[in-house]
Chains A and B, each alone.
Chain A
């Protein structure tokens, strides 16, 4: 057996051609957006936003006390399914790459993993805003239909600033889902994680506040839900805004930073 170096092999003339242009970010953005819609599960997740809004509106008109329904009633009923669906979209945008192992192809076509994650983040936030606008539109339609049935003038009692706060609250929910997705890189784990943070922790925090006076006074600095939920129906004080920023940093910023670091360095198999 002989083992000689391959360098001795005469090489065929290499094809000479121009170096391709770098992939523009716009293209990564477009592809990542497409990937959110192009599977049955992805499509129906997106469609569920419109469907849930429509169902919530119809239920409100049929079962609500029509005389007292205002735009705010519709916003509230459309908003609650939204606050569940949107964070799941945030989670899955990241985790599906690992759960379905598409990361292998994604990161060989775009080796800059940070660019892919940024594109996903921008798309998630965009989907959040568009979904909220759709919800607003469906809710407004419900309000008009209701007014037509009762014969009263429709009541438009949501200020632009209130709507902006609700959008912010939902975007923060999506960011939390996105950050947990980066951290766990597994769809079931990240979704469970999200609901633990969102549904289990408030109960624990409440129980703690009932027995611990210090926690009752200061929970706002640690409990993201407490301040985030305020966004849905009240005007925040300066201190509450600060608390929102601090808790967002702890609950969203920190897992995001750790998750991003893991994604950038981890081995993709």
Chain B
């Protein structure tokens, strides 16, 4: 259980985190979603005591992080997989963490196996690791102390699709065992496949939170024709709120049958007609974080994939 209460962090005149409150529950994977620079990493650094909060507080299992007697045994943290001494081997990095927590050597081997790093790879120095391997090593470090809570910042960065699937299964299993998972991402697709609950942040402020199902409900219909705006106009004419997006796609706030009938009556051939699950979330994400958007194209790849 992670409880964040009215967290605010200012740097000079700039407010990086603005009155952020949310709870990540045991048994659930909570996705922390927002564009780059929205305040996700700052919030996570405050949670684990690496950054002082300006005001408000963050508690993990009811305690401030600094008050945990042996934090690694209760909270697994991965903030930046590249923040490791390039000259240490993967195994040595795990060994150091295991020693700090007073864990037996066998635990290191078990974790290497859990994240599918071979003994040969574990013996290599981290400077020769790909980002994906560093992420796996970081996950291994986080899981080492058999924690109850996981806090992971962009853990899927650098993972290939199989790696993302592996991560999803791993986090699902962790949550199903009663663990609490908080993971951040700036990619919708990534978080959509993994998370149960969503906290969406933009410009340091929470813009939406709820279960994924709630946030996806009412997302409407995605309909695609050769020319999107024409289709959107036809839907508008029938009183349906519709927005043309890219590639002839239109996001319509009506059910499938209604949209299909309008298109048929307008004589517009459809290429695609389906519930707008991911696209709906994407629209929401884009709209909610529009001001803080640096490059909307980045977010598009998530939903298209």
Residues of A within 8 A of B (CB): 1-7, 9, 11-15, 17, 19-23, 27-28, 30-31, 34-35, 38-42, 96, 100-102, 104-105, 107-112, 265, 267-269
In B28-76, the 8 Å CB interface with A consists of 28, 30, 45, 48-52, 65-66, 68-74
Query: B69, A107: Cβ atoms under 8 Å?
Result: no
In the complex, residue of chain A having the shortest beta-carbon distance to the beta carbon of B66: A111
In the complex, residue of chain A having the shortest beta-carbon distance to the beta carbon of B177: A15
Query: A105, B141: Cβ atoms under 8 Å?
Result: yes
Q: Which of A6, A12, A40, A100 contacts B209 (CB 8 A)?
A: A6
In B75-99, the 8 Å CB interface with A consists of 77, 79-80, 82-88, 92-93, 96-97, 99
Interface residues of B, CB < 8 Å — how many?
61
Query: B179, A15: Cβ atoms under 8 Å?
Result: yes
Once the chains are docked, how many angstroms separate the CA of A7 from the CA of B199? Answer: 13
Query: B1, A14: Cβ atoms under 8 Å?
Result: yes
B284 at the A interface (CB under 8 A): yes
Once the chains are docked, how many angstroms separate the CA of A86 from the CA of B45? Answer: 34
Interface centre among B45, B50, B79, B148 (most CB of A within 10 A): B50
B residues near A107, Cβ cutoff 8 Å: 49-50
Stretch at the interface among B106-114, B185-193, B210-218, B293-301: B210-218
Residues of B within 8 A of A (CB): 1, 22-28, 30, 45, 48-52, 65-66, 68-74, 77, 79-80, 82-88, 92-93, 96-97, 99-102, 141, 148, 175-179, 196-197, 199, 208-211, 214-215, 217-218, 284
Once the chains are docked, how many angstroms separate the CA of A267 from the CA of B86? Answer: 22
Q: Can you sample 16 A-B contacts with CB below 8 Å?
A: A13-B178, A15-B148, A19-B69, A20-B74, A21-B69, A31-B99, A34-B96, A101-B80, A102-B83, A104-B50, A104-B83, A105-B141, A108-B72, A110-B71, A111-B68, A112-B66
In the complex, residue of chain A having the shortest beta-carbon distance to the beta carbon of B25: A11
On whether A20 and B69 interact (CB within 8 A), knowing A40-B87, A102-B83, the answer reads yes
Interface centre among A5, A21, A267 (most CB of B within 10 A): A267
Minimum CB–CB distance for A110 against chain B, Å: 6
Minimum CB–CB distance for B180 against chain A, Å: 8
Query: A111, B65: Cβ atoms under 8 Å?
Result: yes
Minimum CB–CB distance for B160 against chain A, Å: 25
B residues near A108, Cβ cutoff 8 Å: 48-50, 71-72, 77, 79
Minimum CB–CB distance for A11 against chain B, Å: 5
Query: B100, A28: Cβ atoms under 8 Å?
Result: yes
* Smallest CB-CB A-B distances: 8 pairs: A12-B27, A39-B87, A101-B83, A22-B69, A20-B73, A20-B70, A268-B50, A100-B85
In the complex, residue of chain B having the shortest beta-carbon distance to the beta carbon of A101: B83
Once the chains are docked, how many angstroms separate the CA of A96 from the CA of B22? Answer: 36
A residues near B214, Cβ cutoff 8 Å: 2-4
Once the chains are docked, how many angstroms separate the CA of A6 from the CA of B26? Answer: 12
Minimum CB–CB distance for A151 against chain B, Å: 48
On whether A6 and B211 interact (CB within 8 A), knowing A14-B26, A38-B92, A105-B141, the answer reads yes
Query: B50, A267: Cβ atoms under 8 Å?
Result: yes
Query: A35, B197: Cβ atoms under 8 Å?
Result: no
Minimum CB–CB distance for A131 against chain B, Å: 21
Once the chains are docked, how many angstroms separate the CA of A17 from the CA of B149? Answer: 13
Minimum CB–CB distance for B252 against chain A, Å: 15
Minimum CB–CB distance for A21 against chain B, Å: 6
Query: A2, B217: Cβ atoms under 8 Å?
Result: yes
A residues near B178, Cβ cutoff 8 Å: 12-15
Q: Which of A20, A31, A111, A269 contacts B49 (CB 8 A)?
A: A111
In the complex, residue of chain A having the shortest beta-carbon distance to the beta carbon of B82: A101
B residues near A6, Cβ cutoff 8 Å: 22-25, 30, 197, 199, 209-211
Once the chains are docked, how many angstroms separate the CA of A110 from the CA of B77? Answer: 12
Query: B208, A3: Cβ atoms under 8 Å?
Result: yes
In the complex, residue of chain A having the shortest beta-carbon distance to the beta carbon of B208: A3
Query: B26, A11: Cβ atoms under 8 Å?
Result: yes
Query: A38, B49: Cβ atoms under 8 Å?
Result: no
Minimum CB–CB distance for A181 against chain B, Å: 16
Q: Which of B45, B66, B72 contacts A109 (CB 8 A)?
A: B72
